[in-house]
Every structure is written in structure tokens, then in C-alpha cells.
Amino acid sequence: MIYPLFLTLHLFAALIFIGTVFFEVLFLESIRKQLPARVMLLVEQGIGRRARSLMPWVLLVLFGAGLGMVGLRYLPVLASPLASSFGTLLAIKIAVAVSVLLHFLVAMFLFKSGRMSPRYLQFIHGSLFCHMVVIVLLAKGMFYLTW
Ligand code: HEM
């Protein structure tokens, strides 16, 4: 019963995280051209504040549930990741997820040290967007692609 619980938590946390990244890239970047810079700054500050308070918990649940699922079911598969297509794709998915975590930590550091600039933020959003597309393809592909 605990595995479906981890999976459900993982899925909800993934929805929130992926949804936020997609919103920031697909909506916010295009709204930027329609709003005065001062208004946009206030909007971004508000969203940034909310994201910085919510996202650490979302990531905790996402990674905690992911690790929980691996511990319950996939440790043997990950012990020799190249032995199966599932193991290979799951190992790549986890590596991409670690890169996502690093992006988040760098962004938090830049915000806290006052060094975050619109250019850095745009780069981080774009890179995270690509990571999310790859992770979703891997998360589903590992169940359907075989070689
Ligand atoms: C940014 C981080 C992550 C995102 C966005 C993400 C997203 C997803 C998504 C969308 C699924 C498909 C769930 C479904 O369709 O039912 C999934 C499955 C899975 N994820 Fe993650 N994940 C992330 C990190 C991790 C990490 C760090 C681990 C392990 C250490 C992990 C382990 C798994 C496992 C084992 C499954 C397969 C669950 C199953 O169906 O049995 N994920 N992930």
C-alpha cells in the first residue's frame, strides 16, 4: 500500500513542479512584452516569493517519494542499470532529476546572495523547461520502450 502512496505523492509534486516551470516559460515570458517593466517586476517578485516558499517542500516530496519508490522496488534494477532498458532509462531520469535539483540550488543561492539577474533567470527557466520535457519522456518511456 505504501508504494501507490509514494507514486501518488510523486505524481502530484511532479504536476506542481512541471506546471510551474511551464507556466513561467510559456505564459510569463510572453506576458513580459505586454506589461510595463515596473508592473512585470512586481509580478515576478510576487511569483518568486511564493515559489521560494513552496518549491522546497514540493521538491522534498518529489525526491523523497522518488527515492522511496526506488528503495521499495527498483534497487536491484539500478544495481546494474545497463542490464535492462528500464534500468538505463530510470538511471538517466534520476541523473536529469539531480541536474534539476542543482538548478534549483543555484537559483536559491543567486536569489539569497542578491546576484540573480533577469538573464540568469531566463536561462534557468529555459534549461529547466528542457529538463522537464526530457524527464516526462523518460518517465513514460521507461515503461514503453524496450531494446
Ligand atoms: C524533477 C524531478 C522529477 C520529476 C519531474 C519526476 C517526474 C516523474 C513522472 C511524471 C513520473 C511518471 C509517474 C506516472 O506516470 O505514474 C515519474 C515516475 C517515476 N519516478 Fe520520477 N520524477 C522526478 C524525480 C525522481 C527521482 C529523484 C527519483 C528517484 C530517485 C524518481 C523515481 C521515479 C520512479 C521510480 C518512477 C516510476 C514509478 C512507477 O510508475 O512505478 N523520480 N517521475
What's residue 53's pLDDT? 94
Contacts of 83 (CB under 8 A, 6+ apart): 77
Kindly report which listed range (62-76, 95-109, 113-127) carries the lowest average pLDDT score: 113-127
Q: In angstroms, what is the span from residue 118 Cα to ligand 1's centroid?
A: 30
Q: 3: how many CB neighbours lie within 10 A of its CB?
A: 12
- Separation CA 70–CA 73 (nearest Å): 5
Which residue CA neighbors atom 20 of ligand 1 most closely? 66
Report the nearest-CA residue for atom 9 of ligand 1: 139
Greater model confidence, 67 or 32: 67
pLDDT digits (tens, 9 = 90+) for 26-49: 998 889 889 998 999 899 889 989
What cell was used for 128?
529547466
Residue with CA closest to ligand 1 atom 38: 7
Q: Rounded to the nearest whole angstrom, what is the distance from the C-alpha of residue 31 to the centroid of ligand 1?
A: 31
Q: What pTM does this model have?
A: 0.93
**pLDDT for residue 123 is more than 90:** yes
**Cα-to-centroid distance, 37 and ligand 1 (Å):** 37
- Which grid cell sits at 75? 534497487
- For ligand 1, whether the C-beta of 139 sits within 6 Å is yes
Contact 55, 24 (CB under 8 A): no
Q: Would you say the CB of residue 63 lies under 6 angstroms from ligand 1?
A: yes
DSSP annotation string for 87-106: HHHHHHHHHHHHHHHHHHHH
